[in-house]
Homo-oligomer: A and B are copies of this chain.
Amino acid sequence: MRIPILKLKDCLLVSIQWELDDQTALQFQEDLLKKIHETNARGVVIDITSIDFIDSFIAKVLGDVINMSRLMGAKVVITGIQPAVAITLVELGIRLDDVMTALDLEKGLEKLQQELGD
């Protein structure tokens, strides 16, 4: 299983709608970075509204993918973080301090476009 990555203007959109297994998460990380490179994307919105539980491995992959994207020059907005996910992220010490967040995909995209000055 792979997670589709959509390109819209200079942003990439990803919606994770089912719990990820470890292999899918790593594949997603690789695919996303490759896509940022291919498309010269300046921003990424990752919507995790449908995820209401994440384990430590997935949380780490998510944290990593945000840092890696940033290194490649793309701003990341995470949208739709559920209460339980927020708790897990903080308890595991995954620091998302300087990551933008928003309520849903639409607001995330708006925020990103503001940030990118579109």
* Interface residues in chain A, defined as those with a beta carbon under 8 Å from any beta carbon in chain B: 1-9, 13, 15-18, 47, 104-106, 109
Q: Which of B6, B7, B9, B18 contacts A6 (CB 8 A)?
A: B6
- The distance from the CB of A26 to the nearest CB of chain B, in whole angstroms, is 17
Inter-chain contacts of A15 with B (CB < 8 A):
4-6
Q: Which of B3, B17, B106 contacts A9 (CB 8 A)?
A: B106
Inter-chain contacts of A104 with B (CB < 8 A):
7
Inter-chain contacts of A18 with B (CB < 8 A):
2
Copies in the complex: 2
Instruction: Please measure, in the bound complex, the distance between the C-alpha atom of A1 and the C-alpha atom of B27, giving whole angstroms.
Output: 15
CB pair B4–A16 under 8 Å, yes or no, is yes
Q: Which of B3, B5, B16, B105 contacts A7 (CB 8 A)?
A: B105
- The distance from the CB of A6 to the nearest CB of chain B, in whole angstroms, is 5
Inter-chain contacts of A13 with B (CB < 8 A):
6, 8, 13
CB pair B1–A3 under 8 Å, yes or no, is no
CB pair B1–A17 under 8 Å, yes or no, is no
Q: Which residue of B lies closest to A47 (CB)?
A: B6
